[in-house]
Chains A and B, each alone.
Chain A
Amino acid sequence: AQKVTQAQTEISVVEKEDVTLDCVYETRDTTYYLFWYKQPPSGELVFLIRRNSFDEQNEISGRYSWNFQKSTSSFNFTITASQVVDSAVYFCALIMGDNYGQNFVFGPGTRLSVLP
């Protein structure tokens, strides 16, 4: 069965601090895809990144970076020099790449509060 764990329920940091959000996943498939979504206080869900299981290269986008490590089944998300606008709930998600079923599994989310 698939599972996504985000052990950090809530994190508070002061603006300009770096923060890492952890995501650990479980799947028996060799082909799978990992995602991060952001849910700001306004409620909508915003796509941040998708990574497939064959691409372990780390990704950087501005202040955001992602570290994918298959050896530890982790796909962690780091925000550098955090800003108040980064305050949101962040979800990690996983889907298998097979041709049947639709097991898109979300983690429980991590609520990040960036204080001024």
Chain B
Amino acid sequence: NAGVTQTPKFRVLKTGQSMTLLCAQDMNHEYMYWYRQDPGMGLRLIHYSVGEGTTAKGEVPDGYNVSRLKKQNFLLGLESAAPSQTSVYFCASSNGKVNEQFFGPGTRLTVL
């Protein structure tokens, strides 16, 4: 099993460009999450999903959109990238709200 995978691993964008980060999990988990990690701030929840076709906002949702069309995939979109979105993005999945989360390897995004 691959667990949780993220595509791409690195990306550099110019301000105003758009992009989509893909997260895939093969553990048949219902819950999926997108976090961003910034120095000294731990991980902050951007959006999450409690099942196929559902999405909800987390702590820092502004500037991001998500979709969960298939149970195994969770997409994070940036419509108009800003330098403040430079960060490391982690996807995670779990089989229950209070269960351990399994994390992907992360995507390092730089917005110039």
A contacts, CB < 8 Å to B: 4, 9, 33, 35, 43-45, 47, 50, 52, 91, 95, 97, 102-109
Contact = CB atoms under 8 A, between A and B. Distances in A.
Contacts of B103: 44-45
Given A104-B45, A106-B42, A108-B41, A43 B106 contact: yes
Nearest to B45: A104
Contacts of A47: 100-102
A108 B40 contact: yes
Contacts, number: 48
B101 A91 contact: no
Given A35-B100, A43-B106, A102 B56 contact: yes
Interface of B: 33, 35, 40-45, 48, 50, 56, 58-59, 88, 90, 92, 97-103, 105-106
A52 B45 CA distance: 21
A50 B97 contact: no
Given A43-B105, A102-B58, A104-B45, A9 B97 contact: no
A102 B49 CA distance: 10
Nearest to A32: B98
Interface centre among A35, A44, A50 (most CB of B within 10 A): A44
In the complex, the 5 A-B pairs of residues with the closest C-beta atoms, listed nearest first: A106-B42, A45-B103, A47-B100, A106-B43, A108-B42
A43 B6 CA distance: 13
Nearest to A6: B42
Contacts of A107: 42
A47 B100 CA distance: 7
Given A45-B90, A108-B41, A97 B58 contact: no
A104 B98 CA distance: 9
